[in-house]
């Protein structure tokens, strides 16, 4: 058995339950705004956080809570980021206390997160009032409601799960994420909560998470803005029954499965970028190192001009070359090949750093598809990297022009 995608999101692993309710932080009563994930079995915990110097209070509290490498629950509200508030940490600790009381666990066993408007005081009363209901609604099929409750400007719920085998035991990883705007990660991205029933050491989990995030979430950009609230966390409760993973082959199996889950979520985030009509994937091959391939691919998907060209289905490949040229990567521009690809076909537009004749009509048919790939071959080595982004549309400005009001 290899790695197979399954249903269930964060509830797919054994022993995990989730719930999502409307508590009143959002004015729209039809939108859930408070999510809870819980395992009654003590779990190994790991997390990564935004590199932005301005950090939301929940990140600071979570880092303190899981310094022992353990947690049992995740609480997250949407509609208010609890960032840049004088009482931010107090409110974040209070959220942990509320969850602890509702589930009869330790306050330090809670991962806390918030997303939404920055600099707006978080009202704690709605969370207090909803705690009992939220806890009572925890179920092994609550992943849909939980995934909905963490959304802000997201259009689609983002969740995925995978199944694989370690030590003859069927193991699972589930994940849910939110993210649509203010996405340009460096060390983590948006909010993502991962669950697993594998048994794994804290050191190994931290190491695997860092490696996988660097090649998935850190390869996503919607708009070039690194959020103050970005965090990705993992809970692994060991219920699958495998021997504890500390390294070696089993760690690689777990890493591969985690990569599949986070790669899928990464694509969902890029595809659901604010106002987006296209998912843009830049696949760079033939690089002298992975770092060069990463730099080039991210520069291309971050280019506002390239993003605008894809929005208009304009095969303006020169904008890709331009982005590569200012990326800072050590490349020979006279060796670069570029092609555009989608389900409608593939067309070469640049060879050895210079344009080649191509059909604008065929190129247009390729670029009007939702998922568009920009293929860049540097022809200098054997390393490759993939980055994901989205097009830049009129609606992105509209959404962010009145985001707060």
What amino acid positions are annotated as catalytic residues?
189
CA angle 100, 105, 111 (to 5 degrees): 60
The token pair at 124 is 């704690």
Pairing of strands 231-236, 34-49: antiparallel
CB of 184 closer than 8 Å to CB of 302: yes
Please report, to the nearest 10 degrees, the dihedral formed by the alpha carbons of residues 261, 264, 267, 271 taken in order.
-120
Instruction: Quote the CA–CA distance of 339 and 337 in Å, as a whole number.
Output: 7
CA angle 53, 54, 56 (to 5 degrees): 130
Q: What residues are paired with 160 via a beta bridge?
A: 175
CB of 92 closer than 8 Å to CB of 231: no
String of b and e for 8-41 (b: at least 16 CB within 10 Å)?
bbbbbbbbbbbbbbbbbbbeeeeebbbbbbbbbe
Instruction: Quote the CA–CA distance of 183 and 192 in Å, as a whole number.
Output: 13
Which is nearest to 262 in space by CA: 166, 159, 341?
Answer: 159
Phi and psi, residue 239, nearest 5°? -75, -15
String of b and e for 275-307 (b: at least 16 CB within 10 Å)?
bbbbbbbbbbbbbbeeebbbbbbbbbbbbeebb
């Amino acid at each position: 058995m290899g790695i197979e995608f399954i249903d269930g999101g964060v509830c797919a692993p054994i022993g995990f339950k989730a719930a999502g309710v409307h508590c009143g932080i959002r004015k729209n009563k039809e939108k859930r705004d408070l999510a809870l994930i819980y395992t009654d079995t003590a779990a190994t915990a790991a997390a990564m956080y935004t590199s932005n110097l301005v950090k939301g209070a929940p990140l600071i509290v979570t880092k303190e809570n899981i310094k022992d490498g353990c947690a049992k629950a995740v609480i997250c509200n949407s509609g208010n980021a609890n960032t840049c508030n004088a009482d931010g940490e107090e409110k974040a600790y209070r959220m942990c206390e509320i969850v602890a009381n509702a589930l009869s666990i330790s306050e330090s066993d809670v991962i806390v997160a918030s997303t939404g408007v920055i600099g707006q005081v978080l009202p704690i009363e709605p969370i207090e009032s909803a705690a009992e209901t939220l806890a009572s609604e925890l179920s092994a099929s609550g992943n849909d409601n939980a995934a909905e409750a963490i959304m802000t400007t997201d259009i689609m719920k983002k969740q995925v799960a995978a199944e694989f085998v370690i030590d003859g035991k069927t193991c699972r990883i589930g994940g849910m994420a939110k993210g649509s705007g203010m996405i340009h990660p460096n060390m983590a991205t948006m909010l993502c909560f991962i669950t697993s029933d594998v048994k794994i050491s804290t050191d190994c989990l931290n190491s695997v998470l860092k490696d996988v995030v660097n090649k998935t979430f850190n390869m996503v950009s919607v708009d070039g803005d690194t959020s103050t609230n970005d965090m990705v966390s993992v809970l692994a409760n060991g219920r699958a029954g495998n021997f504890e993973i500390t390294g070696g082959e089993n760690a690689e199996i777990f890493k591969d499965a985690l990569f599949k889950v986070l790669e899928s979520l990464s694509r969902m985030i890029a595809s659901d970028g604010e106002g987006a009509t296209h998912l843009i994937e830049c696949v760079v091959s033939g690089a002298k190192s992975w770092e060069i391939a990463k730099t080039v691919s991210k520069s291309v998907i971050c280019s506002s001009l390239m993003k605008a060209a894809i929005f208009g289905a304009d095969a303006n490949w020169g904008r890709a070359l331009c982005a590569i040229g200012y990326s800072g990567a050590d490349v020979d521009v006279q060796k670069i090949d570029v092609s555009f690809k989608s389900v409608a076909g593939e067309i070469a537009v640049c060879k050895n750093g210079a344009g080649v004749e191509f059909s604008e009509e065929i190129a247009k048919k390729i670029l009007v598809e939702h998922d568009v790939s920009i293929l860049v071959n540097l022809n200098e080595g054997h390393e490759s990297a993939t980055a994901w982004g989205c097009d830049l549309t009129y609606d992105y400005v509209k959404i962010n022009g009145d985001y707060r009001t």
